[in-house]
């Protein structure tokens, strides 16, 4: 049975790395229905491998001289299973690994065994003799971050910020959740709220270290994981009454729920436009049912045009733009591997197009809010600067950039842009 777990984990990881697929979805495909224990074990092993991928890859390449990705990931499974004791009989994993090497014509000799045992014992403190401990390569391995990301931080913000951000990216971020006022909670959801402390205005902090997504209320879409920065943005936006508001979801961030909660009780009309039905539709349907309010509506669209939904200029448009979403480096272990640096330029063009198109629908003294969960200066300050150059009728009323090493522990940027003429 355990051999099967290691084989499944290896298949999942190979597909994740080679095919750029979500490892949690792959596990659902590979593990048969009813084998819940195997699923949990695979999820745990794969998560550890992905969270230590750059360490494992360097060790396999430079110490064991393995270049085949399958052997690299198999080495990671040994590390993840034995170092963190993910099965009762860890020798079964070593036997599986030895057989895999033999089947690939590689001898599991004493030198390789000694090196692996040292890696297992020292984990991230393994001493690579050929690496300068002040190098970006070493920092990449130690914090499980791609070199291009570290170079970007260094170039944009300097060495000190690079170090601070990278160290924070290697940790589980503080976990917050917003509790809407318009939902009723069942008994299981009420019990799950005991794992939270209320911080302020329906913002809760999670007291546990495990993922907040396992919480019953989050799982059922009545409690929404957010960043502290998103909550601060919602509080910063002005109170409005009898106004028209549009929320544009071209990236999935839960802050939109707090915005609906903030504005709907003041006789405002709220329209949500979303472009990802797979992720957006369930919570929006649930919200609509809970509100039972004709002033709330939502539509799927891939365009930025608003004429089909309203004849009037909008008093507020909040644009959750597509972005590099570098905050996911802290939260989603396979995002680091699956995200392509080459896509950033296309994302920047999409952000600019969205801002310029949405600007056409803003009423005089109305506001366009631009939000991205990243610290890439080209997607944040530079993007807003270019927008203001091209749209002389707008001013930057307020903007805030959050770094993960700061008190809020957020990786986020938002800008409130007001139309003056």
pLDDT tens for residues 88-127? 889 999 999 999 999 999 998 999 999 999 999 999 899 9
Taking alpha carbons only, the member of 329, 20, 338, 414 closest to residue 149 is 329
Cα 163 from chain centre:
20
Cα–Cα separations (whole angstroms), residue 10 to 48, 120, 260:
13, 18, 43
Backbone angles phi, psi at 402, to 5 degrees: -115, 130
CA–CA separation, 272 and 6 (whole Å)? 44
Q: How far apart are CA 29 and CA 26, in angstroms?
A: 5
- Local confidence band at 300 (pLDDT 50, 70, 90 cut-offs): confident
For 188, phi then psi, to 5°, come to: -65, -40
Check: CB of residue 84 under 8 Å from CB of residue 41. Answer: no
Question: For the residues 382-388, what does the mean pLDDT come to?
Answer: 98
Q: In percent, how much of the chain has pLDDT > 90?
A: 71
CA torsion, points 311, 312, 318, 324, in degrees to nearest 10?
40
Mean pLDDT of the chain: 91
Q: Give the residue among 299, 414, 314, 417 at the shortest CA–CA distance from 363.
A: 314
What is the tens place of the pLDDT at every residue in 241-261? 999 999 999 887 899 999 999
DSSP-derived secondary structure letter, 133: T
Other Cβ atoms within 10 Å of 229 Cβ, number: 26
At 34, the pLDDT band (50, 70, 90 cuts) reads low
**C-alpha angle 392/396/400, rounded to 5°?**
150
pLDDT in tens, 308-365: 777 789 999 999 999 999 999 998 889 988 888 889 999 999 999 999 999 999 999 9
Q: At what angle do helices 255-264 and 277-291 cross, to 10 degrees?
A: 30
Give the position of tokens 């549009």. Answer: 246
Contact 254, 178 (CB under 8 A): yes
- 178-221 pLDDT, tens digit per residue, is 999 999 999 999 999 999 999 988 999 999 888 898 899 998 88
Residues 6+ positions from 77 with CB-CB distance below 8 Å: 6, 9, 10, 13, 45, 49, 93, 97
At residue 1 the predicted structure's pLDDT band, cuts being 50, 70 and 90, is: very low
CA distance 319 to 250: 8
Lowest mean pLDDT among 24-28, 68-72, 303-307, 347-351: 303-307
d(CA 323, CA 49): 26
Give the full edge-to-edge strand order of the sheet including 269-274. Answer: 296-300, 269-274, 244-249, 314-320, 362-372, 412-419, 394-402
How far, in Å, CA of 229 to CA of 203, rounded?
A: 11
DSSP result, 33-46: TT-HHHHHHHHHHH
Top pLDDT among 42 and 201 is at: 42
């Amino acid at each position: 049975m355990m051999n099967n777990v290691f084989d499944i984990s290896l298949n999942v990881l190979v597909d994740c790395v080679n095919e750029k697929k979500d490892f949690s979805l792959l596990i659902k495909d590979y593990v048969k229905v009813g084998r819940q224990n195997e699923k949990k074990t695979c999820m745990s092993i794969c998560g550890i491998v992905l969270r230590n991928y750059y360490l494992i890859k360097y060790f396999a390449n430079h110490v064991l001289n393995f270049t085949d990705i399958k052997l690299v990931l198999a080495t990671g499974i040994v590390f993840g299973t034995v170092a963190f004791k993910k099965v009762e009989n860890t020798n079964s994993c070593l036997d599986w690994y030895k057989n895999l090497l033999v089947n690939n014509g590689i001898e599991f000799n004493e030198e390789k065994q000694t090196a692996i045992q040292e890696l297992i014992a020292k984990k991230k403190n393994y001493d690579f003799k050929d690496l300068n401990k002040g190098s970006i390569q070493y920092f990449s391995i130690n914090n499980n971050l791609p070199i291009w990301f570290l170079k970007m931080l260094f170039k944009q913000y300097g060495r000190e910020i690079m170090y601070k951000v990278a160290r924070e990216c290697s940790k589980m971020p503080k976990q917050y959740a917003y509790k809407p006022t318009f939902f009723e909670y069942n008994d299981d959801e009420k019990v799950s709220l005991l794992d939270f402390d209320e911080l302020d205005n329906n913002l809760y902090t999670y007291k546990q270290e495990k993922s907040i997504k396992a919480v019953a209320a989050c799982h059922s879409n009545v409690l929404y994981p957010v960043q502290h920065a998103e909550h601060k943005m919602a509080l910063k936006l002005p109170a409005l009454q009898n106004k028209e508001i549009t929320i544009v979801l071209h990236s999935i961030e839960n802050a939109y729920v707090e915005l609906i909660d903030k504005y709907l009780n003041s006789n405002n009309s709220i329209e949500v436009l979303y472009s990802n039905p797979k992720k957006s539709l369930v919570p929006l349907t649930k919200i609509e049912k809970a509100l039972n309010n004709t002033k709330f509506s939502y539509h799927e669209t891939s365009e930025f045009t608003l004429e089909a939904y309203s004849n009037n200029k909008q008093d507020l448009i909040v644009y959750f733009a597509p972005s590099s979403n570098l905050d996911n480096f802290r939260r989603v272990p396979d995002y680091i591997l699956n995200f392509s640096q080459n896509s950033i330029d296309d994302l920047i063009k999409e952000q600019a197009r969205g801002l310029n198109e949405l600007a056409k629908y803003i009423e005089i003294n109305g506001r366009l809010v631009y939000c991205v969960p990243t610290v890439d200066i080209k997607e944040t300050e530079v993007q807003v600067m270019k927008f203001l150059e091209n749209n002389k009728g707008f001013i930057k009323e307020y903007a805030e950039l959050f770094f993960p090493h700061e008190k809020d522990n957020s990786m986020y940027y938002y800008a409130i842009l007001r139309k003056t003429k």
